[in-house]
Structure 1
Amino acid sequence: TDIVSIEHVSIPSMAKLFYFHGVGMINQFTKNWDNIQNFKARPDDILTATYPKAGTTWVSYILDLLYFAHMGPDRQTSIPLHDRVPFLEICKPPLPLHLTSKLPTTPRLIKTHLPVQFVPKSFWEQRCRVVYVARNAKDNAVSYFHFERMDSGMPEPGKWSTFLQNFMEGKMVFGSWYDHVNGWWEKKQTYSGFHFMFYEDLIEDCGREIDRLCSFLSLSPSPEEKERVKASVTFDNMKQNKMTNYSTFDSMNQTISPFMRKGKVGDWKNHFTVAQNEQFDEDYKQKMKNPDLKFRYEI
């Protein structure tokens, strides 16, 4: 892939990055801050947490189907996934906090990109179950770059080399990938209701990961139900599905880059130069000291 031919094409954006309690943020995620922090979680809520572009929509859809596929095809064909699994911190009408309180389903499925220290305390107090999905930093950076190119609600990414430098320095919306992943990994060590997933494992064997998720959630779908979920959540099916591909979102110009772009492990090789890769690996070693947290960059 010739990155040079696409790197300057992006949507003009008004969003400006600023530091909020030490973490890169934009106004639409902080202007409702007090309400977010005072969010009243319920004990059966399930929170899906990710760094942006690490498999949020994928795992949200798996959870939604595991719990609510029995509610019939109307829900699947008429309600966009982002209304079924609201985004805790987004601040566009209708406010998800408002949406979440009106969710007709139990458990409530809620998603967030917040670093662990920003999560409303009630989720921990109520002992809610948490599913965290992590993706290797190189593919995550590439996916985030293309997302910022097509979403006018996000800061403009500039060219790839600039973006990559910002990514390494943590000058990103929702902050540093390293801090995010490390912070949530640490939480897992002390919080029992926690399931940590890797994007690469999902790509390698989605059925196995669905089984592990069911085990964590004490769900026992029939083999037929499991097969239906697995078939629905393939990348190609989700890309074609208007309820999961964000084609209903005005801020996204999917002609620049589709929201569901490639869904692969190893696309970073089409973007990183040899020099960028060496610099990135060196930087990574400094920031990722935990020997237990290992990522795969190809399968």
Structure 2
Amino acid sequence: MDNKPNVFRRELVDVHGVPLFWSMAEEWSQVESFEARSDDLLISTYPKSGTTWVSEILDLIYNNGDVEKCKRDAIYNRVPFMELIIPGIINGTEQLKNMQSPRLVKTHLPVQLLPSSFWKNDCKMIYVARNAKDVAVSYYYFYQMAKMHPEPGTWEEFLDKFMDGKVSFGSWYDHVKGWWEKKKDYRILYLFYEDMKEDPKCSLHKLLQFLEKDLPEETVDKILYHSSFNVMKKNPSANYTTMNTAEMDHSVSPFMRKGISGDWKNQFTVAQYEKFEEDYAKKMKGSTLQFRSEI
């Protein structure tokens, strides 16, 4: 127990060119050899792109809108974070091994690091992408409260790291583009956070269609209500307040902070915005991916 604090605030370690938590790097063989099942549903995102939100929606869909059933455990136990391994604290691959099918599996891995069993078994996958500026801001606050990350430094310093892909899970640009390209060949539903915010019902129907599932309209409305930001923020099984303060300190910044689109305007200076946009244009050149920075 005494040595627990030293698992936190350690430098990231390079795994095949992608910076990851040191403990993931040490146990990488467990992640790489993970056995997906053909009826697994993979939820993939770059961090801070609506992962918990879409996970809650999908757990509600899988349980036909039974809200009480979805309070059976914290979201990180209902939808295990596959590659998250912290000695003595959590092991996502082990959690999943012990789960009954059909499983909901969460990952933040870029496409090239995903265990090959997911491709081999042709698993259905849902990818959620959010605009880079909002992700950068949200990630900065998350780095402050979630202590598995290295110290974030100042906002200016963190933004530079983000643009250089020197943050946990690497480059946002490579991540969103990699999954975008992959959807041509695999069963991947690619959603945008901004669209989900603007028209949650339309996005929910897309999910249902992708899962080939029919739900009565009143169940759809119930799911929309219980997966709304304000309701989830108050729900201990969805808002991560059940985590130990040593791991996540909500007094620094709540896990569910604002959940809006366009918050970057409150954080970026004009100079930062101009530098970011110039860099963005270079890194996204040639991609057909289009993002909205506000709605």
Q: Indicate the residue corresponding to 2:188 in structure 1.
A: 194
- Which structure 1 segments of 5+ residues have no match? 1-11
| Counterpart secondary structure, 1:132 | strand
Deviation at 1:72?
A: 6.6
Structure 2 distance, partners of 1:123, 1:78, is 27
CA-CA distance at 1:290 after TM superposition: 3.5
One of 163, 171, 180 as aligned partner of 2:175: 180
Matched, 1:143 2:141: no
* Percentage of matched positions with identical amino acids: 47
Match of 1:57 among 33, 52, 58: 52
1:36 maps onto 2:31 in alignment:
yes
Q: C-alpha displacement at 1:28, in angstroms?
A: 2.5
Q: Using the alignment, how far apart are the partners of 2:52 and 2:71 within structure 1?
A: 16
Q: Which residue in the other structure is 2:227 paired with?
A: 233
Which residue of 263, 267, 270 corresponds with 1:271?
267
Q: Contact (CA 8 Å) 1:84, 1:103: kept in 2 or not?
A: no
Q: Distance in 2 between matches of 1:292 and 1:70?
A: 36
Larger displacement relative to structure 2 (27-36 or 37-46): 27-36
Q: Post-superposition shift, 1:70? A: 5.8
What are the residue-to-residue correspondences of 1:104-253 with 2, within 5 Å?
104=100, 106-191=101-186, 193-250=187-244, 251-253=247-249
Distance 2:265 2:23 in 1: 33
- Normalised by the length of structure 2, the TM-score is 0.93
Partner AA of 1:150 in structure 2: M
Provide the residue aligned with 1:84 in structure 2: 78
* CA deviation after TM superposition for structure 1 residue 18, in Å: 2.8
CA contact (8 A) 1:31 1:91 kept: no
Compute the displacement of 1:23 (Å).
Answer: 1.0
**1:254-293 equivalent positions in 2, closer than 5 A:** 254-293=250-289
Partner AA of 1:121 in structure 2: S
SS of the equivalent of 2:35 reads coil
Q: Which moved more, 1:237-246 or 1:93-102?
A: 93-102
Deviation sequence 1:85-121 (CA, Å, 0-9, x none): 00010013442222112223x3210000001001000
Contact 2:63–2:70 (8 Å) recurs in 1: no
Measure the CA separation in 1 of the matches of 2:27 and 2:55: 23
CA distance in structure 2 between the aligned counterparts of 1:45 and 1:13, rounded to whole angstroms: 31
1: distance between equivalents of 2:286 and 2:50? 22
Q: Helix, strand or coil for the counterpart of 1:190?
A: coil
- Any stretches of 5+ residues in structure 2 without a counterpart? 1-6
- Return the match for 1:295 from 285, 288, 291: 291
- CA 70–170 in structure 1, closer or farther in 2 if over 3 Å, else same: closer
Provide the secondary structure at the position in 2 that maps to 1:189: coil
Q: For the Cα contact (< 8 Å) 2:65–2:220, is it kept in 1?
A: no
CA distance in 2, matches of 1:123, 1:209: 24
**What amino acid is the match of 1:55?**
G
What's the C-alpha RMSD, in Å, of the aligned pairs?
1.4
